[in-house]
């Protein structure tokens, strides 16, 4: 009887463990380990490329402002390539922002702000490449900061408008 009782108890414990495991798998793991939704991936892409815009923008300098021992993208890649990489990251971030904003009904706002920002950035880059006076590298740093704020505001306001 002891043997059958322990077998019976073991069977019950084993059954309970399997049931809990099945419930945990269906509820907990399925919710915690879901693949990210598409809008979240667009937002992540926009965030990463906006970080690249900021990172590259803060390290573009005029030749007179380059410091020895400081690695800047304008020194490593050349001014033209650094400006092109900055604009390319900005275009990619703008595209991702528009795709993310599409899911909250604000893609026109995000795409319009991104296009306006890229147009201003292209003008800044063209002016810098034509005449790289000292301190003009600061324009890229300032533009990069404005870009971050505007892109996140466009997405946030778009989402807020949809929820209102």
CA distances to 33, 36, 137, 138, 146 from 65, rounded to whole Å, are 48, 43, 8, 10, 22
Number of domains comprising the chain? 2
Asked if the model's pLDDT at residue 128 lies above 70, the reply is yes
Residue 97 sits in the same domain as residue 28: no
Residue 25 sits in the same domain as residue 54: no
Residue 123 sits in the same domain as residue 103: yes
CATH number at residue 83: 1.20.120
Residue 45 sits in the same domain as residue 22: no
Residue 21 sits in the same domain as residue 93: no
Instruction: Compute the half-sphere exposure of residue 37: CA atoms within 13 Å on the CB side of its CA.
Output: 6
Residue pLDDT, tens place only, 23-32? 444 444 444 4
Domain assignment of residue 99, given as a range: 36-163
137, 65 contact by CB (below 8 A): yes
Q: What are the helix and strand counts (H, E) for the chain?
A: 7, 0
Nearest to 99 by CA among 137, 34, 45: 45
Residue pLDDT, tens place only, 15-52? 434 443 444 444 444 444 456 688 889 999 999 999 99
Residue 107 sits in the same domain as residue 158: yes
Residue 43 sits in the same domain as residue 25: no
Distance CA 39, CA 45 (A): 10
């Amino acid at each position: 009887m002891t043997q059958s009782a322990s077998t019976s108890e073991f069977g019950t414990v084993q059954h309970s463990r399997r049931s809990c495991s099945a419930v945990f798998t269906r509820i907990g793991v399925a919710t915690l380990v879901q693949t990210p939704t598409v809008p979240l991936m667009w937002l992540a892409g926009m965030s990463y490329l906006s970080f690249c815009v900021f990172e590259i923008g803060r390290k573009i300098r005029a030749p007179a402002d380059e410091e020895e021992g400081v690695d800047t993208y304008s020194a490593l890649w050349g001014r033209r390539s650094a400006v092109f990489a900055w604009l390319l990251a900005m275009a990619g971030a703008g595209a991702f922002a528009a795709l993310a904003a599409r899911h909250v009904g604000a893609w026109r706002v995000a795409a319009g702000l991104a296009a306006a920002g890229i147009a201003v950035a292209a003008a800044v880059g063209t002016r810098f490449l034509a005449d790289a006076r000292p301190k003009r590298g600061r324009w890229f740093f300032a533009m990069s900061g404005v870009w971050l704020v505007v892109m996140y505001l466009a997405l946030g306001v778009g989402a807020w408008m949809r929820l209102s």
